[in-house]
Amino acid sequence: MSSEPLRVACVGMGWWSDVLADAMKRSDKIRIVACYTRSEDKRAAFAKKYGCRPVATYEAVLADPEIEAIVNTTPNDVHLPTTRAAAEAGKHVFLDKPIANNVTEGRAITEVCRKAGVVLGMGYQRRRESHFRWIRQQIDAGMFGKLVNAEANISRDRLGKIDLSSWRYQASGMPGGVMLQIGIHYTDVLTYLMGPVKAVRGQFAQLVLPGDNPDVASLILEHESGALSTLNASYASASEYYLMNIYGKDATAYYDMHNGLRLLKRGEDKPKAVAAPTNDTFVEELEEFAAAIRGMGKPEVGGDYATVSLAVVRAGILSAREGRRVEVAEVLKND
């Protein structure tokens, strides 16, 4: 079992590739040795910024024995071919969410990695935030009693900040718009805290941003336990905002990005602040991926879960389109 840093190549040079590369530079467990994107200028700039080798073709990346894994930030619709090629070349894959644009491709990605015996790690960093970890610990300890309801909001201001030529803001590249791009983080956190989602009702709108994709979306999630959650996601708000309130029979947790985490127990008059220090969620998930490759554990979020997570959002999209309650099982069967 090697204690050497994991040697990775970054594939796909967009703004998110830099976010993950910055995190890898904060770790001594991972070393970026190469990078590839189709644009020669972009890969040269990335190589200079992160001190790695620019590689002219993806095939050359996969043929390089020095490279153990790829960090894949390519567009959703090429996650399957890029991951399949990597897996067949024996390279492990870290893939940012969503796993794909449909369930069929999500399953295929999971299966090609399983068949090749390579580790597939998925980028779902929000669930790792210390406030959500604390809430989960207290749920497991029984503090909340029966969970009954939750409400969440994940909003950003994208007015004047989007590039309509980017796949991230096109219906073909990111079907479901804001809900698939960022809302999926909080469908994941709601699943992590409240349990699996059985059915979804969705409503989507395009109100402020140009283009052809929803910039506002709302879901009602029906959990297998019977609890209900609501999630609002927006790119049309005046500012960035995150909210997650978890309601149990015996206690309620309130979190928002401005006021932090608070807890209110049954019988108390006011919520009390809970200390939840900021943690480096990106480094944590990437180091977990590296450890799994070295034979120590497995990624918390892998392909099977990521495919179900995608199905929750896909159920919301179908619900909004057809005006009905959609069970996640239906999407897992037909999407």
Between 3.30.360.10, 3.10.450.50, 3.40.50.300, 3.40.50.1700, what CATH number should domain 127-277+310-334 receive?
A: 3.30.360.10
Question: Which pLDDT belongs to residue 48?
Answer: 97
Alpha carbon distances (Å) from 178 to 22, 43, 231: 24, 28, 12
Cα 122 from Cα 142, distance rounded (Å): 29
Rounded to 5°, the CA angle 1-23-172 comes to 105
What amino acid is encoded at 315 in this protein? Answer: A
CATH class of the region 6-125+283-300: alpha beta
Question: Over the chain (335 residues), what is each successive 10-residue block's mean pLDDT?
Answer: 87 92 98 96 96 97 98 95 98 96 97 98 98 98 98 87 67 75 96 98 90 90 98 92 97 97 97 96 98 96 98 96 97 95
Question: Which pLDDT belongs to residue 225?
Answer: 98
Specify the domain boundaries for CATH 3.40.50.720 within the chain. 6-125+283-300
Helix axes of 79-88 and 103-116: crossing angle, nearest 10 degrees: 10
Burial of 62 (0-12, 13-18, 19+ CB in 10 A): buried
Question: Which pLDDT belongs to residue 170?
Answer: 64
Strands 260-265 and 272-274: antiparallel
Tokens in use for 54? 């620019």
Cα 264 from Cα 268, distance rounded (Å): 6
Helix axes of 184-194 and 303-322: crossing angle, nearest 10 degrees: 110
Specify the domain boundaries for CATH 3.30.360.10 within the chain. 127-277+310-334
Cα 290 from Cα 134, distance rounded (Å): 25
Cα 203 from Cα 234, distance rounded (Å): 12
Question: Which pLDDT belongs to residue 214?
Answer: 87
Question: Which pLDDT belongs to residue 157?
Answer: 86
Question: Which pLDDT belongs to residue 160?
Answer: 64
Q: Tally DSSP H helices, then E strands, for the chain.
A: 11, 15
- Closest to 250 (Cα-Cα) out of 146, 149, 151: 146
